Structure formats: C-alpha cells, structure tokens
Amino acid sequence: MSSRDAILGRIRRSLGASGSDAPRLAAVRHRLAETPVNVVPARGQLPSAERIDLFVRKAGEVFATVVRLGGRDDIPAAVAAYLRDRNLPQAIRRGDDRRLADLPWEREAQLAVTTGPSDGSDLVGLSHADAGVAETGTVVLTSGPDNPTTINFLPDHHIVVVDASTVAGDYETVWADLRRRFGAGVMPRTVNLVTGPSRSADIEETLLLGAHGPRSLHILVVG
C-alpha cells in the first residue's frame, strides 16, 4: 500500500468515516464552493475616506512610511524625492507592469530605472500592489510576468504604489477580488501580504528592522 493510502485509511479509521460518505463530501464541496466568511472585525468597515486613513495609520504603526499623492503622474517625483531624502543613488528597479511603465519617468532625468527581476544588487525596488488592507496596514502583491517577486524582498528599500481605490477594509474583500480576476480556486503563483519592513527580535528580544528583507517599506497611496 502506498503511504498515501495508508495515511488516508488511518484517518478514516480514526474518524470512523468513509471517503465516499455523501453528507461528508457535500459538506466539503459546499465549503470549498461557497467559501463562507467567518468573523470579520468591524475596524475596517468604514466609508472610503476613513478606510484609507486607517490604512495609512496602521501602516505607520508597523514602521512603514506613507506618502499620499494626488495622481499617478506624481509617482516619479515622489520616488526621486524619497531617494534624495535618504541620500540614496537615483536608481530603482521595477517590473514591467503597465501601471508602472506608463508613468512620466522622463520628468526625472537623473533617475535610472531598470526593469526585471532583482539579483540582489539593487538598493531600491518599486512594485505596484494589487490592494491594501486597512485593518492592519497591509499591502497585497501578486507575482506574474511583469511583477517579479524578488523585487519585494532583495532590495534594501521597497517602494510600493497602492491605488487608494483598492484599499479594502479586510482580507476577505481581497480574496473576493482575487477570485474575480483569476477564477475561483485559482491563485497567482505568489501572493505576498506585506505588513511593514522586515524585522527580527531573535537577539535578546530586541526589535530590529531589516532582517533579510527590506530595511524600509515606503508606500505611495495614489488618489
């Protein structure tokens, strides 16, 4: 007998159940198809403006920095300003995502923009989030041909653009949106929920930022 059959057989024996029991199968099918929502905190259930405010406040509480921009065209200048403020070279790496490619980068003549996955030599990465979650100040990033995951982890500084209209109150709203875009039961290869910059408290329980991932997370909320 294969280990698979042995394990499943033992589980069924312990439960005193069978794998072809109709009510059990129906219960599982129902839950997987209907994806019922459990308890959702009231905290994020706010009208749009307050929801975005909560997102900004929560992101700040976990040591992310946040800047609000009036429109997409302000992004290149905001990126350049961030680099200047931190005495960083005017250079970033980003994916080919249209939402980042179609920006007036030419307005920042000094800024060198490279695209594609990171090999660990970039100081600053720029990504576009699919959503924000107000409940905890979290950004949601998905992988794809134009959105390398390495940019989210290897550079020292991670700048993330979030469309204000995509800031949800809770994770459940984001799941529903993923299902709409990718299909029920289908996920992009990688979905990263990022809440603040990388940290560790493994040495004497002292909280330090920048363990293996980015030392700083800078969020640009557009709109």
Partner 1 sequence: MSGGLTSLSFPKNAHAALANPPLLKAIAHIEETLVSGRRRAAEALPEFEALRDAGRDIKAHTLAHLDLYLEAFERKVVEAGGFVHWAADAADANRIILDICQKAGARRVTKGKSMITEEVGLNAYLQANGIAPVETDLGEYIIQLRGETPSHIIAPAVHVNKEQVAADFRRVHTDLDPKRNLDEPTSLLAEARGVLRERFLSADVGITGANFLVAETGSTVIVTNEGNGDLTQILPKTHIVLASIEKVVPTLEDVATIMRLLARSATGQEMSVYTTFSTGPRRAGDPDGPEAFHVVLLDNGRSAMLGSEFEDMLRCIRCGACINHCPVYRSVGGHAYGSVYPGPMGSVLTPSLQGLEKSAHLANASTLCGRCESVCPMRIPLPKMLRHWREKEFERHLTPKKARFGLAAWRFLAARPRLYGLATRLGAWGLARLAGRDGALRQVPLAGGWTRWRDLPAPEGGTFRTEWAKRGRK
* CB of 79 closer than 8 Å to CB of 126: yes
Task: Enumerate residues 12-31 that contact partner 1 by CB under 8 A.
Answer: 12, 14-17, 19, 24-25, 27-28, 31
Find the binder of partner 1 among 22, 87, 109, 202 (CB under 8 A).
202
Q: Which is nearer to partner 1, 81 or 184 (CB)?
A: 184
Find the binding residues for partner 1 in span 170-189 (CB under 8 A): 170-172, 175, 178, 185-189
Which residues between 56 and 85 bind partner 1 (CB under 8 A)? 58, 62
**Contact with partner 1 (CB under 8 A) among 42, 102, 110, 112:** 42
CB of 45 to partner 1, least distance (A): 11
User: Total number of residues binding partner 1 (CB under 8 A)?
Assistant: 81
Q: Choose, by CB under 8 A, the member of 45, 164, 191, 223 that binds partner 1.
A: 191
113-122 burial, b if ≥16 CB within 10 A, otherwise e?
bebeebeeeb
**Beta carbon nearer to partner 1, 62 or 69:** 62
CB neighbours of 215 closer than 8 A, spacing ≥ 6? 156, 157, 197, 198, 209
